[in-house]
Structure 1
Amino acid sequence: MLQRWLDNLSSLPDATLILLGVVALLLAAYLWSATEIRRSHERHMQRVRDTLYISTGLLGLLTIWEQRKYEAPSEEQHELLKAMHACKAASFLSPQLQDQIRDCVKNEDPARLALMHKALERECTALSDEFSRNTYSVHWGRAIWNIFRPAAEPAALTATALLIGYLFYTERITSTPVDSWNNLLPWFQAISLMLTILYAYLLWSSPKRGTSGALVKWLSLLIALCSLLHLIGLAAAPYALALQLILFVCGFGLTGSRSRSERPYAGHAETDENSSNSRMTTPVHGAVVEDSPPPVTPRRSVSASD
């Protein structure tokens, strides 16, 4: 098909201008993609820098409080409260840590502050490592990837144009009546190939940061690889499309995020209750020994005169 297109294009009087226009269009798409990727990376690193700038203030106060056993005068409590409120604007802190900060704002319990201090230190360390890795070191593989990644847009445009040209120029899909199963096969193949181009583009253009979207990338790769069934022939188009649609629907259930109430952080009241229930019965050498409950401190009865 591509050779037939080139032969027909060479027979036109303005074939050189048309070819130069297509090359210029693809080059413009590449330059636009490279510029957007660079700007996106700069915005990402700026957000990491802002998060570190905001979080390190709270981290320093918590370090001082840890040395004082989380006891400080009211003036320093006010500073700690301001620092915790400021961390709400730190966009790269995890939702679990944001929940811990909100709980500590409502109740400055030493145990909660200690848990939040450890979680904040872990996340600040991870962000600092990411900032240093992306700022001061460029690996050989990353340099090559930075060159080829902006080519995702031109490649997707070219693949879409070739597919549309193949369907309308070779298969004559618009002039074929859909009154039989065999006439539906080119439509199935067209939809399947469009899904393949879409998910191949998402795989190519997705940033290579972390492993949080590993399941999404694997599902996208499987959907794209389903198009290999088209090598068998046009009769395999319904099966390839069916597999792609099944994987697409499964993605909603496999990649759905849990609500915050269903994923409490360490030290949350729900996990504390579950852990205390699990400690009530402890197996020892095949027997189950019930742990004695903690001593209950008697409360002073409140009279009406109080």
Structure 2
Amino acid sequence: MSLTQVWSWLAQQPAGPYVAAVTALTFIALYTAARSSAWRVEQARLERLRLSLELYAAAAGPLQRTLEQRGAGADTEALLMDRLQACKAAPYLTADLQGQIGAYLADGDEARLPLLHRALDREAVRLMEERAKLLARSEQPGWGLSLWLQLRAMLPFAFAAAAVLLTAWLLQALGAAPAAGGSEAAWTRAAIWARFASILLSLLLLYPVLLENRRPGGSTILLRLLSIFIALLALIHLAGLETSLYVLAVQLLLFVLGFSLTGTKPRKARPFAGHYDDTTTQTLLLNPPAGTVDSEGRPVNGALSPEDTDARE
């Protein structure tokens, strides 16, 4: 039984006018809730961007002064430490910048300052570009984007209606299926439930792809493509009920595969640029590269003695 037949069956019921009134009220409520939710998400994202940029800007000044005047006063150094500590509370602090800030706060090595300054400036520029795009999308959307935003607010009602029609189809199909007692009847009922589960899974995967305004990330595009592909597999059900079990099996396999495809590497396995382990640190201390200068600006030539290494530590 097709969805058109299910809709006709619902329309022929005695409570048809009441169903139509409830449907209209549900559409208005879901549309309004979707628009309000989208607006709140955008405002919350802008607020997180603003807070992150404020913390980065507050740390950029002391960091620049310390970088230009090596061996700056204790007050400037203490201010830099406080501002970098505050940067740890930035909502959009990346793992790379967090690692560099933590490394500098741990040892206070001024050799880390140039790399830290470049990383902080890079993250600030990236967040400013993201904020500009978000403001343009919110305040000056193009014709196509404006139309999509209107249609997207209707999608919650469309998904709810699809779920209701799918449930009605399930009830009708189970009622029209052969009575239990044979292998053919068992297979038919299993195929009906498999089609129901497959289409429901497709709706659940497609809903966040179309409705949620996710912040761009490394695995966001891959996650969306995988969700869309799994959802499109439900179109194979048009070929007949006999494909239901196979379609559901493939969808479940791809869904499980998605956990490995979208997984991220542990933070400890991704050292930031400029990070050294203990062995590398000792090697650099004992054999500094040519042109290296100490904290007082004097050139360092040759290997350091173990006593000098202990003194530096």
TM over 0.5: yes
2:250 is paired with a residue whose SS is helix
Matches for 1:1-306 after TM superposition, within 5 Å: 1-5=2-6, 7-12=8-13, 14-68=15-69, 70-136=70-136, 138-140=140-142, 141-172=144-175, 177=180, 180-207=186-213, 209-212=215-218, 213-270=220-277, 273=280, 295-300=302-307
Question: Quick one: which amino acid aligns to residue 89 of structure 1?
Answer: A
Of 86-95 and 150-159, the range deviating more from structure 2: 150-159
Q: Quick one: distance in 2 between partners of 1:203 and 1:39?
A: 18
Q: Quick one: distance in 1 between partners of 2:78 and 2:8?
A: 77
Q: Quick one: distance in 1 between partners of 2:265 and 2:176?
A: 44
Of 134-143 and 262-271, the range deviating more from structure 2: 134-143
Q: What's the TM-score once normalised by structure 1's chain length? A: 0.83
Q: Quick one: distance in 2 between partners of 1:131 and 1:122?
A: 14
Please report how far the alpha carbon of residue 159 of structure 1 lies from its aligned counterpart in structure 2 after TM superposition.
0.8
1:269 is paired with a residue whose SS is coil
Q: Quick one: distance in 2 between partners of 1:51 and 1:42?
A: 14
Q: Percent identity, please.
A: 28
Q: Over residues 11-37 of structure 1, what are the superposed CA-to-partner deviations in whole Å (9 max), with x where a residue is unaligned?
A: 555532320211211221111111111
Q: Over residues 257-300 of structure 1, what are the superposed CA-to-partner deviations in whole Å (9 max), with x where a residue is unaligned?
A: 211111111011149959x9xxxxxxxxxxxxxxxxx9422344
Question: Quick one: which amino acid aligns to residue 192 of structure 1?
Answer: S
Please report how far the alpha carbon of residue 97 of structure 1 lies from its aligned counterpart in structure 2 after TM superposition.
1.1
Where structure 2 has 5 or more consecutive residues not aligned to the other structure, the ranges are 284-300
Contact 1:173–1:187 (CA<8 Å) still a contact in 2? no
Q: Over residues 21-56 of structure 1, what are the superposed CA-to-partner deviations in whole Å (9 max), with x where a residue is unaligned?
A: 112112211111111111111011101101111111
1:217 is paired with a residue whose SS is helix
Q: Quick one: distance in 2 between partners of 1:10 and 1:93?
A: 54
Contact 2:88–2:98 (CA<8 Å) still a contact in 1? yes
Could you say which structure has the greater relative contact order, defined with CA pairs below 8 angstroms and 6 or more residues apart? 2
Q: Relative to structure 1, is the Cα distance of residues 211 and 149 closer, same or farther in structure 2, using a 3 angstrom cutoff?
A: farther
Q: Over residues 128-170 of structure 1, what are the superposed CA-to-partner deviations in whole Å (9 max), with x where a residue is unaligned?
A: 1111222245331332232222223112111110100001024
Where structure 1 has 5 or more consecutive residues not aligned to the other structure, the ranges are 277-293
Question: Quick one: which amino acid aligns to residue 196 of structure 1?
Answer: S
Aligned alpha-carbon RMSD (Å) = 2.8
Q: Quick one: distance in 1 between partners of 2:148 and 2:246?
A: 34
Please report how far the alpha carbon of residue 174 of structure 1 lies from its aligned counterpart in structure 2 after TM superposition.
9.1
Please report how far the alpha carbon of residue 101 of structure 1 lies from its aligned counterpart in structure 2 after TM superposition.
1.0
**What count of residue pairs does the alignment treat as equivalent?**
284
Please report how far the alpha carbon of residue 89 of structure 1 lies from its aligned counterpart in structure 2 after TM superposition.
1.0
Q: What's the TM-score once normalised by structure 2's chain length? A: 0.82
